[in-house]
Structure formats: structure tokens, C-alpha cells
A and B are shown apart, each in its own frame.
Chain A
Amino acid sequence: MGEATPVWAVVALPLVLAGLICSAAALDAVFCAGGRPADPLREGVRLLLQQRRRTRGADLLLMRAGVISLPVAAFLAAMVIPLGAAPVLPSSVGVVWFNAMEVVAWASLWLTGWGADSAFPLIGGYRFLAQGLAYELPHMFALITAALAAGSLDLGAVAAAQEGLWFAVWMPVAFAVYLLSALAMAFWGPMGHPLAGDVAGGVPLELAGPDRLLFFAGRLALLAVAAAAAVPLFLGGGAGPWLPAWAWSLVKTYAVLVPLVWVRQRVPVVRMDRFMQVAWTVLIPATLLQMLVVGLVVLD
């Protein structure tokens, strides 16, 4: 805390985040059958020109609070992630901050689903709460395992502690669980049950116009931020030969983000009535064992 933030980091953060969101959307369109990279842009313009809409019994305040908090949470989480060497908010508890911001999505989805006063979004909102109960603990254990190995909750220090050997290499279980939870926190692809087709699109079903635009932009922002956080946590941060640190951060972020976007085409959606048991009886013990191994290495 207390160190000054370089001005370029403040300028770069919104640009990089916007770039990640746009390229993730374009990639997703290209991976779909018959999609074209400009499709998301077209859809965005369509939503801006579209008649706004609300459901008859909607609680607009709650619904909009849910929609708007989604990009805000992603943006706040991004502040502690170092782009190269410097985050916007250098924090000795960056890991906790990231964790706390990403949990805001629980409230966002539930508020959006409840506020619409429509049965399918309501069911979608509650589906996400169940999903949170399943993915959040393995996710937090994965985060703590990285922090434990570095002896710090500062994302910059965690990245610096990986000189020579990335955490992804010697704690693969934590890394794999982190990637899974990245999908879950952005309710993306196989973890997209709250927005699934069986409830006609779920949580954002009744949204139109600017509300819909912000909701889906917020979701991609969450996915991008989750991918970006994997870089200091498990992939050595900005370290690498030839290129400057910020460039390595970007390259590694894309190396995580592209497979996350792509996996949506490969895997059907996972339901929590099946996944909950696996999360508690396989993922939690596995991450705890991983943490024990890391703890013993740290003691040495």
C-alpha cells in the first residue's frame, strides 16, 4: 500500500479490459457454427437501438442494480491485477480483494433474476446460488494455495515468487480447479446453467436494450478478469524473455482466455444437482491435499 500508481496503468486498464471483452466476444462468435467476428458488435448496436423493456411486476431498481453491479464487480476485481509489474491498486491483500469482488456476481445474478418477476429468470438466479456453493470453496482453496506458496496475498508478490517455476507446473490441481471456477464465476459454457436454454435463457431472459447489453458485457468482463488473474496467480505474471512484462501478461492472459471461450463449444452444460457432490467430495479434498503438499514444501 502507499506506492504511487503509474499513470499509464490507469490509462491501460480500461483499454485492455475493453480489448479483452471485445476479442472474447468476437472469438466466441467465430467458434460458433456460422458466426462472424462482427456479430457481437452488430448485436450491441441492435440493443442500443432497441426499445427498452420491463416486465409488468418487475422491481426495476433491483434488476438494474444486479445488471450494473456485474461490470462494476469485474472492473473492481481487475484493479489489483498487475499488468506487467504494476496494478492500479497495489494491495497487500489483493487476492482477498479479487475474491471478494468476484463473489459480487452472486448478488448480481440473483438480483437480476428476482427483479424481473418472471419464473425462468428466478429459477436461473437460484441456480447460480447453488453453483456458488459448489465452486466457491475449491476456488478459494486454489487461491490460498498460490498465496501460501508465495507467503503473500499481494498478486505482484505471488507472481514474483514464481521465478524459475510457475505455480501452474508444481500445483496443477490448484490451477485446474482455478480454471474450472473461472468458468463458474462467469457462468460461462459448461458452467452456464443459470443462463441455459432449458429455462429459455434464464437470468437475462426478460432483459432488452441497454440492460441486456451491460449484462452480457459484464459477463465477458468477469471471464476476462478471471483469465487475467490466472497469470499472476499461476503463470509467473509478466516474467518472460524478450518481450516487456506487460506484453507477457497480455500473451498469457489470452493463452488462458481463448481456451475458456472455446470450451463452450465442446462441453454441454453441467447441472448442480450432479456437480455439487463432486465439488464437495472430490474437488475440496483434492485442493486441500494440494494445499497440504504446498504447505509441506513451504516448511522445508
Chain B
Amino acid sequence: MEPYAAVLALLGLLAVVIASVYSLSYALAPPGTPAAGPFLSGARPEEHAMSRYHVRWYAVTLLFLAFDMEMVFMYPWALVVASVGAKAVVEMFAFLGLLMAGVLYAWREGALRWS
């Protein structure tokens, strides 16, 4: 079997399973999907919950992005270390060292602790 045909067949199967969960619910459960208030310990909501959320760890997201970009290089790097030799290890860890200096700075500034 071609791999991609196999993947598509399995995805089709999963789609059937998920669809049958919903169809079983439609067949067996009471009809309709009535709306309920959100659970707020028994209180009435004062506003929609969907809102601009105060994300206090935004500094960590920036730090994360720097490393995440670095991962793009790291996956191919892992394949060539043996053939390129010491140069590859030195260069990658020099780069990682620079990034870790950034982490050190962020840590000293308290960006990793917010409460």
C-alpha cells in the first residue's frame, strides 16, 4: 500500500469514527442542543468571557520564539554532526550559548517569575 493512501484511509476511518460518535448522540440523546449559561458558581455572567486576556508571561513568549526559530536549524543539524565533525558541534553550541545568555538576562530581569 502506498504510504499516503494508507494515511488517507486511516484519516477517513477516524472521520467515520468521529462522525459516528456525533450520529450516535443524535440517534440516542434527546434532540437539540439547548443553550445554557456559563458556570460561574451559580452567578449570572456580567460580560462575555471572550476578552483580551492579560497574558503576564508575554516576555517568555518572545524568549520562546527565539529558541523556536533556532529549532529550525537544529533538526537538520542533528543529521550532519557525524559527517561535518567538531565544527558543527562548536558552532551550534556557540549559538545556543548566545541564546542561553538571553535566558540568563531574562531570568535576572524576573521575566520567568510573575507572581
Chain B binds chain A:
yes
> Is the CB–CB distance between B36 and A54 below 8 Å?
yes
Contacts of A272 in B (CB 8 A): 57
Instruction: Tell me the interface secondary structure of chain B in the complex.
Output: helix
Contacts of A122 in B (CB 8 A): 49-51, 53
> Is the CB–CB distance between B78 and A144 below 8 Å?
yes
Of the candidates B24, B37, B60, which one forms a contact with A276 in the assembled complex, judged by CB atoms under 8 Å apart?
B60
Of the candidates A48, A90, A295, A299, which one forms a contact with B29 in the assembled complex, judged by CB atoms under 8 Å apart?
A48
A149 to B68, CA, bound (A): 21
**Stretch in A184-192, A260-268, A278-286 touching the partner:** A278-286
Q: Does A104 contact B (CB under 8 A)?
A: no
Q: Which 10 pairs of residues, A with B, have the shortest CB-CB distance?
A: A118-B38, A210-B25, A5-B6, A52-B33, A277-B112, A148-B78, A147-B78, A273-B115, A119-B49, A56-B35
Ordered by A's residue number, 19 sampled pairs between the chains whose C-beta atoms are within 8 Å are A4-B1, A7-B1, A56-B35, A57-B50, A95-B75, A117-B38, A119-B49, A121-B49, A126-B55, A137-B68, A140-B71, A153-B75, A200-B41, A209-B29, A210-B22, A277-B107, A277-B113, A288-B100, A299-B81
Q: Does A206 contact B (CB under 8 A)?
A: yes
A17 to B71, CA, bound (A): 29
Residues of B within 8 A of A (CB): 1-4, 6-7, 9-11, 13-14, 18, 21-22, 24-25, 28-30, 32-41, 45, 48-51, 53, 55, 57, 60-61, 63-64, 67-68, 71, 74-75, 78-79, 81-82, 85-86, 89, 92-93, 96, 100, 103, 106-107, 112-115
CB-CB under 8 A for A88 and B3, given A117-B49, A151-B81: yes
Q: How far is the CB of B73 from chain A (nearest CB, A)?
A: 11
Instruction: Tell me the interface secondary structure of chain A in the complex.
Output: helix
Q: Does A75 contact B (CB under 8 A)?
A: yes
Contacts of A295 in B (CB 8 A): 81, 89, 92-93
Q: Does A13 contact B (CB under 8 A)?
A: yes
